[in-house]
Structure 1
C-alpha cells in the first residue's frame, strides 16, 4: 500500500481501545501491515495458512479480519471508500440507480444440499450469486442463494 493510499485509509480504520484510554495492551502489529496482508490474501486467492512470512502471522491477520468483520467494520470501511469514490467522481454519495445481475455457479459435493439448487435454464446444480452495483460499477450488495 502506498503512502498516499494509507493516508486515505488510515482515518477509516477503528482506533484501538488502548489509544482511546480504555485500557488494554498496545497491539503487536500495525494496522497497515494487517491491511496489506488481507489485501494480499484477496488479490492472490491464497489460504490463510499460506500467508507469506513477510506479513504478520496468519492467525493474527485472521483475528483482526474476524474482529473487523464481526463488528461490521469491513462493510462500513467498504461503504466509506465507495462514498469517497462517488464524491470524487462528482456524484451524490447515495446512488439513485443500480444494476442487478446474477450468475449460476456449480457447487461441489461438499456443499450442503440445503444451500444448493438446480438452475433449469443453465442446467447447473449449485448456487446463484446476485450482485447489485451502482452506475459507476461500485458494489452495493451481494446475496448468494440456491440456484433454483
Structure 2
C-alpha cells in the first residue's frame, strides 16, 4: 500500500482575508468533519464571530450544529445555475485570495511536510510574513 501525502487545507478568514484559523487534513478526510473541529477552535478563539460563509462542501447537518452548539450562523454560498465557467462565488474570493497568497510561499507550493501540524505551522508562518509586509509598507504622509 503506497503512502498518500495529499492534503486538504481548510481555512477561516475574516473579511479582510486575514487568517483566523486553519486545519490541514489528509485528502480522504471529509470536509464536514474537518470543519466541525476547525469551527470549534475558531469559535473558542474569536468569541465575537457570528457569521461564517462556506461553499457547498460544508452543507448538511453542520449548518444546524453550528447554530445550536457554536452560536454561529453558517451560510452556504451556492453556485447559481446562471454561472458558467470557473467564476468565483460571492465571498468565496476572499478565501481564494488567501490560497493565492499562500502559493507565493515556496514551501507551500508543494506538500513538503510529513505531518499536518507542520503544514499548518507553515501556513501560519506565511500569513505572518504577509501581515508584517502589509504593516511595514510605507504610507503616504497626510497633508
TM-score, shorter chain, exceeding 0.5: no
Higher relative strand content: 1
- Flag the structure with more relative contact order, 1 or 2, with Cα contacts below 8 A and sequence separation at least 6: 2
The TM-score, its normalising length taken from structure 2, stands at: 0.25
Larger-gyration structure (1/2):
1
